[in-house]
Structure 1
Amino acid sequence: MKEAILENIKQYNKIIIHRHVRPDPDALGSQGGLAQIIKDSFPEKEVYMAGEEIGSLTFLVRMDELTDDMYEGALVIVCDTANSPRISDQRYASGEKIIKIDHHPNEDPYGDLLWVDTSSSSVSEMIMDFYLFGREHGLVLSKKTATLLYSGIVGDTGRFLYSNTTERTFRYAAELLAAGAEVHELYEGLYKTSEPLARLAGYVMENFQTHSRGRVGSIHLTKEILERYNVSVSEASLLVNAFSHVEGMLAWAFFVDEPDQIRVRIRSKGPVVNGLARQFNGGGHPRSSGATIYTPEETKEVIRGLIEIVQEYTPVS
């Protein structure tokens, strides 16, 4: 599959790279890292990045301004996006050929060419894998690319704390450091916190709820709370793991009001939660998923479902 992707990159003169809405470091790291590899390796090609920007992450990479006609005859590559409705900028479908590169379960096999590897910690790790395959064929890894890919790996592994961290993850991270990834500046950018967000974090820690004898946690950040602390939806979502280390906690749901819906993030230390997410217009990884609901009553349904999953869970010894 990597060989086929490289051949397509060589064939097309215009390449547009997308990723999911509300991008996180892996979405931007894989998108920007792949774009930079292509730019450095094939300077004659036109390479663009599409999608909305998140202010707190623009220090990583900036998007390009694209017109509709730019998609004519273009190769489109979509990174880190399991479901086609979540692709940022739906003009992706106007490209001549579409490649999907992802590490989520392949429940929506969109595109003409698919490379899905659920064993990878992140799509940034996959892009590093792609570079290592292609470096004998002319692919170049710059210091800028190394920093972007490292940011994606760090973001999706929680600084190497999550169970998706493997021996390969550490090997690739070491190679990126050797290539010049600017780790200090990266961490400064990724983990700096505004005063409003810090105060909201205090609210979360004081007000999260526990269920099922402390094994399930939840909190609902309403529109009123976000306005009180002057924090955006995307900023508030950074606190999804704020109470994850509470002793006995196995799974938790983090609800954040958006203008016309309630965004749900479901996390776990073992129980499989993506099936629950699929019941509520979502999906994702077995231990890290997202969903969309529309009423406070549905928040209770999600919590009940999470409690049932935890009660049926048997830890692997």
Structure 2
Amino acid sequence: MHRQILDKIKAYSKIVIHRHVRPDPDAYGSSIGLYHLLQENYPEKEIWVTGKPDATLDYLATLKPVPDGAFQDALIIVTDTANTARIDDQRYTQGDYLIKIDHHPNEEPYGDLIHVDTNASSVSEMIYELFLVAKQEEGWQMNATAARLLYAGIVGDTGRFMFSSTSLATMTYAGELMSFDFDRTKLFNDMYEVSPNVLKLKGYVYENFKMKNGIGHVKMTRELLKEYGVNQSEASLLVSALADVKGMRAWVFFIEDEDSIRVRLRSKGPIINVIAKQFNGGGHPLASGATIYKWEEMQDVLEEMYKL
């Protein structure tokens, strides 16, 4: 599979890289990290990375607009995106050939070439594995910018190496990436420091979460977020706050956005992506997301959780 991907990369003079909407560090790390890898090793190619910028991830990279002409006759690579509805920038359909690189369950096998590894901790880890093959077979070089992005993606999707998806390979790759010249202390500070407003909202979570039958939940309305001066993306950073609660088997955050309610599900064992699929979502077995459109549906989600 790596060989097929490398052959396609070599064959195209134009490449556009996509990732998913509402990005996280792995979405940025895998897509923009791959962009810098390709720029380093194929300076003659026209390479773009697309997607709506997220201000909470500006510390990793900033993006520039991609013109329509970039997609014509281009190789499209989509990273960290399980289904087409979540691909950021729907112009991906205008390319010539599409490669999907992902670590979510392959329930929508879109694309001309599909590389899915559900055992990988992150797609950033998968991009590093691609680099290792390319280094041996094509003489690829890594630079510090790409290394920093891939390292951030791995750290983000493993919860600082605490999640069960962290493997020996994950730790080995992270150690190798650490050998490059970037400031890890600053990176960690940028990733995990939060504003006083978010910290106060975290206090609200601890004061107000509910738990029944080992299932916890937190409800955050737009009015609450406005009161604390926190946006939906910032509130989502708190989804792991209940991980250390004794007796908590799984939990869900309901965070109201402009036209929907984001449902963020997490688990210490019960498989929860089956519930996410019932409510316009999906994801990993122990970390998933979904969407509901009225607060009355919140109880429906919780009833499914209690059945676990």
Question: Could you say which TM-score interval applies, normalised by the shorter chain?
Answer: over 0.9
Match for residue 243 of structure 1?
242
1:302 Cα deviation after fit: 0.7
Structure 1 segments, 4+ long, off by >4 Å, are none
Separation in structure 1 between the aligned mates of residue 33 and residue 235 of structure 2, nearest angstrom = 26
Match for residue 257 of structure 1?
256
Match for residue 206 of structure 1?
207
Separation in structure 2 between the aligned mates of residue 181 and residue 150 of structure 1, nearest angstrom = 10
Separation in structure 1 between the aligned mates of residue 164 and residue 182 of structure 2, nearest angstrom = 23
Does residue 88 of the first structure (1) align with residue 88 of the second (2)? Answer: yes
Q: Secondary structure of the equivalent of 2:146? A: helix
Match for residue 34 of structure 1?
34
Separation in structure 2 between the aligned mates of residue 119 and residue 262 of structure 1, nearest angstrom = 30
Does residue 169 of the first structure (1) align with residue 170 of the second (2)? Answer: yes
Does residue 54 of the first structure (1) align with residue 54 of the second (2)? Answer: yes
Separation in structure 2 between the aligned mates of residue 287 and residue 7 of structure 1, nearest angstrom = 35
**TM-score normalized with structure 2 length:** 0.98
Superposition pairs of residues 44-193 of structure 1, within 5 angstroms? 44-136=44-136, 137-193=138-194
Separation in structure 1 between the aligned mates of residue 25 and residue 252 of structure 2, nearest angstrom = 21
1:59 Cα deviation after fit: 1.5
The one-letter amino acid paired with 1:142 is N
Q: Secondary structure of the equivalent of 2:262? A: strand
1:220 Cα deviation after fit: 1.1
1:179 Cα deviation after fit: 2.8
Separation in structure 2 between the aligned mates of residue 236 and residue 280 of structure 1, nearest angstrom = 20
CA RMSD of aligned residues (A): 0.9
Separation in structure 1 between the aligned mates of residue 97 and residue 132 of structure 2, nearest angstrom = 24
Q: Secondary structure of the equivalent of 1:241? A: helix
Where does structure 1 lack aligned partners over 5 or more consecutive residues? 310-317
Q: Secondary structure of the equivalent of 2:15? A: strand
Match for residue 271 of structure 2?
272
1:54 Cα deviation after fit: 1.1
1:181 Cα deviation after fit: 4.3
Separation in structure 1 between the aligned mates of residue 94 and residue 190 of structure 2, nearest angstrom = 34
Q: Secondary structure of the equivalent of 2:206? A: helix
The one-letter amino acid paired with 2:116 is V
Separation in structure 2 between the aligned mates of residue 148 and residue 81 of structure 1, nearest angstrom = 17
Larger CA deviation: 95-104 vs 133-142:
133-142
Check the 8 A contact 1:150/1:181 in 2, yes or no. Answer: no
Q: Secondary structure of the equivalent of 1:104? A: coil
1:139 Cα deviation after fit: 1.5
1:140 Cα deviation after fit: 1.4
1:295 Cα deviation after fit: 1.4
1:188 Cα deviation after fit: 1.3
Q: Secondary structure of the equivalent of 1:296? A: coil
The one-letter amino acid paired with 1:36 is H
Where does structure 2 lack aligned partners over 5 or more consecutive residues? none
Match for residue 6 of structure 1?
6
Separation in structure 1 between the aligned mates of residue 126 and residue 70 of structure 2, nearest angstrom = 27
Check the 8 A contact 1:147/1:181 in 2, yes or no. Answer: yes
Q: Secondary structure of the equivalent of 2:99? A: strand
Separation in structure 1 between the aligned mates of residue 64 and residue 141 of structure 2, nearest angstrom = 22
1:182 Cα deviation after fit: 2.8
The one-letter amino acid paired with 2:77 is I
Q: Deviations over 1:103-139 (max 9, x none)?
A: 0000111111110000000000000100011102121
Match for residue 314 of structure 1?
none
Separation in structure 2 between the aligned mates of residue 128 and residue 66 of structure 1, nearest angstrom = 25
Check the 8 A contact 1:33/1:146 in 2, yes or no. Answer: yes
Equivalenced residues, count: 307
